[in-house]
Amino acid sequence: KKSTDSTRSEQLTRIMSSSNRPTSDNHYIMYKHCVKFSNNTKVSFIPGLRNISDEEINATWFTEKDCAKIQASMVKTVKRMRKGNMDEEKYCSRGLEHMRTADDAKQRKANRDAARTAVLAEHKRQSLLGYYDPIEVCKVSTFHSKGTRDAALRLGESDAAAVHPSRSRSDIGHEMNTSCHESQSSSATQPIASEECAAILESALKVANSTQDCDVNMKGDICHQPEESCLSSKQNVPRNTLTR
């Protein structure tokens, strides 16, 4: 047992002594059970709940009553969408397109699972090979999210055409595609800071893991769970972060 502890101690010493040594421009050694913190840390103090008035809390966070109203509104909108009598002037279906049919809900889940599986598989591959390349992980995530990204661009084109009716749909689409391609080529040719890569990966995993089980089940049907169970995960959600 003493020899085992000594071996582990030596391995940890070697890891810590080489923690900042890159293997190439964009490849870094992969370490297990290690956490690194930036040397430049900014500490921000926020007031506790005891120091915030009830009026400010209610104005900042969604209450259970607010969440119940949002849930009921979403259910009504989805039912209208599925019946085909949707009045776009009176009701907004943006963000609920994946619930239009059961097949749409299943396809959204399949896309999410594929992106998550691909990102985790790339992490595992790099771990086995002993290096860390965040740009490759970004490429994998971008490849598997292309379909949803294109769908978002089409929605953006529709919104832009509604706001600027004098401009043609083709011109708007060309500008959006050009901007998107320039952003992709820039990220592929320029090194990405480690903090930015970490944010990208965290965002990708959050998207992959995000679910709307309270709105649609595995078959794509509208959820009829008790409001308490649906709202338990939505309490204390900032008003400026909860969207459809």
* Closest CA relative to residue 230, chosen from 215, 219, 208, 209: 215
Say which residues have a Cβ less than 8 Å from residue 227's Cβ, sequence separation at least 6: 68, 71
pLDDT at 17: 53
Q: If you write DSSP's letter for every residue of 56-77 in order, what string do you get?
A: HHHHHB--HHHHHHHHHHHHHH
**In DSSP terms, which residues pair with 28 in a beta bridge?**
22, 132
pTM: 0.43
Query: What is the per-residue pLDDT for 39?
Result: 78
Q: Which two tokens stand for residue 228?
A: 């308490």
pLDDT digits (tens, 9 = 90+) for 191-212: 444 454 455 455 545 544 543 4
Question: Contact at 8 Å (CB) between 62 and 237?
Answer: yes
66-83 pLDDT, tens per residue?
A: 999 988 988 888 888 888
Q: Which of left, alpha, beta for 155 (phi over 0: left; psi -120 to 50: alpha)?
A: alpha
Torsions phi, psi for 31 (to 5 deg): -115, 140
Nearest by Cα to 136 from 126, 144, 146, 149: 126
Residues in the chain predicted with pLDDT less than 50, given as ranges, are 1-2, 18-31, 186-194, 196-197, 200, 204, 207-208, 210-244
Burial zone of 105 (CB within 10 Å; 0-12 exposed, 13-18 middle, 19+ buried): buried
- With beta carbons less than 8 A apart as the criterion, state whether 59 and 238 touch: no
